[in-house]
Structure formats: structure tokens, C-alpha cells
């Protein structure tokens, strides 16, 4: 039985009510090498000692392998900028400061699922927040939430690259899908020029050489 078509505006309003800063919906069609360059990244050995990145390539490309019958990927962002709250001299990644974002966003995802099911009882979804092999940045890009910057991160027009990404892969189609937005980096190379080890390289798409990443 075909799942009920979701109202895109309803889903986005529900996501905002739960606390997500941005929401977009993309068609759950497999990612292509042209838009992703994942095989090229692996072939060049840019994944360094992260051998696990060689696993589950098909799963990373095709959300229908994560949830059979997948029709849509609901991509969600939660912004962070906690540097003003940091104390002492410890140097840690800003996304890791405070409560574990995996646990916090997982709760939000289940709250969103519950909210959507109030309107669509047959809603089925697989929540993803760094817990399954899915390309978060690429799905956020496809859902119109930003572009892939020269720093290889998703750049949202409002949040910048300071955001955590999560998804709901669902068997429900949507009445309206979002599309990628224009890349806003232009000719800017500030991030690449600032990298002391020249870890950012450029091919068809921006690539990070983890062997050079400090």
C-alpha cells in the first residue's frame, strides 16, 4: 500500500516546533559520483586510516537500501555556536561542547516522528544522526539546505557550517520537494588558504585529504 503523501509545509512546521533550525525534503534517488566524488576520494586514499569509510558504499548512496521503499529524505539542521560559552583553555571541537548532540538530536527526531504521525498515522521513517551509513551533507545539499563549501562542509546561508545534520528516511512521498541552491563560495579560497597542511584539494568537487588534516 502506498503511503500517504506528506504536506511539505506541515513537516517543516513540525520540525521547527520540535527545535530544528532548518528542514528540507529531497527525493530519495541514489546519489551519483558526479555530485559526490566519493569513489574518487577513496581511490586517492584521502580517507587515511578510516578504513570503515570503504564499507557500505551502496548504503551511503541509496537510502532505499536503508529503508526499503524509501521515497523521501527529510533533512534537518541544528545549529551550534557555543564558543562564547566555553571556559578555560581546553581546545575541543565546538560541535562536541555540551551535551552529546547524537542523544539530543535523536530525541528530537523521535519527537518529530510522533508529531508527523498525529497527522499521518501510516508515516514510517528511519531516523539517522551519525548512526547509519548515509551521506548527511549530500542529502542536506539536495534538500536545499546549503551547498558544499570548499572546506567540504555543508554551508547553510544562515548557520554557515556550524550545524549538525540529521535525516528521516521515509517511505512517504511529499507534495513538494526542495532542490539544491546555488553554491555561494564563488572564487573564495579563504578556508583552503588558511589550512596550514593544505588538506583541502579541488577536483570535480571539494575533497578533504585526511592524511594532511591535523
Under a CB-based contact definition with an 8 Å cutoff, are residues 192 and 200 in contact?
A: yes
Q: Are 162 and 146 in contact (CB under 8 A)?
A: no
Report the C-alpha gap between 200 and 202 in whole angstroms. 7
Residue with cell 555540551: 98
Q: Which residue among the candidates 122, 130, 175, 193 is catalytic per the annotation?
A: 130
Beta sheet of 125-128, edge-to-edge order? 22-27, 72-79, 163-170, 125-128
Q: In the chain, what is the greatest distance between 2 CA atoms, to the nearest angstrom? A: 57
Q: Is 130 a catalytic residue?
A: yes
Please tell me what DSSP assigns to residue 69. T
The packing angle between helices 8-18 and 101-119, to 10°, is 140
Which of 19, 3, 26, 2 is closest to 176 using CA atoms?
26
Q: Which residues are catalytic?
A: 130
Amino acid at each position: 500500500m502506498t503511503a500517504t503523501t506528506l504536506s511539505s509545509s506541515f513537516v517543516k512546521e513540525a520540525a521547527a516546533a520540535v527545535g530544528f533550525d532548518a528542514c528540507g525534503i529531497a527525493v530519495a534517488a541514489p546519489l551519483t559520483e558526479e555530485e559526490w566524488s566519493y569513489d574518487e576520494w577513496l581511490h586517492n586514499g584521502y580517507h587515511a586510516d578510516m578504513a570503515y569509510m570503504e564499507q557500505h558504499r551502496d548504503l551511503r548512496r541509496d537510502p532505499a537500501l536503508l529503508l526499503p521503499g524509501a521515497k523521501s529524505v527529510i533533512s534537518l539542521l541544528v545549529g551550534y555556536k557555543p564558543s562564547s560559552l566555553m571556559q578555560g583553555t581546553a581546545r575541543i571541537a565546538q560541535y562536541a561542547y555540551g551535551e552529546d548532540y547524537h542523544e539530543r538530536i535523536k530525541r528530537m527526531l523521535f519527537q518529530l516522528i510522533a508529531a508527523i504521525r498525529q497527522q499521518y498515522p501510516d508515516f514510517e521513517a528511519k531516523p539517522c544522526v551519525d548512526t547509519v551509513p548515509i551521506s548527511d551533507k549530500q542529502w542536506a545539499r539536495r534538500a536545499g539546505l546549503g551547498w558544499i563549501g570548499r572546506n567540504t562542509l555543508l554551508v547553510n546561508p544562515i548557520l554557515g557550517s556550524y550545524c549538525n545534520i540529521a535525516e528521516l528516511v521515509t517511505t512517504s512521498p511529499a507534495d513538494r520537494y526542495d532542490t539544491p541552491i546555488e553554491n555561494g563560495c564563488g572564487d573564495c579560497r579563504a578556508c583552503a588558504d588558511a589550512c596550514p597542511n593544505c588538506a583541502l584539494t579541488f577536483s570535480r568537487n571539494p575533497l578533504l585529504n585526511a592524511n594532511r588534516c591535523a
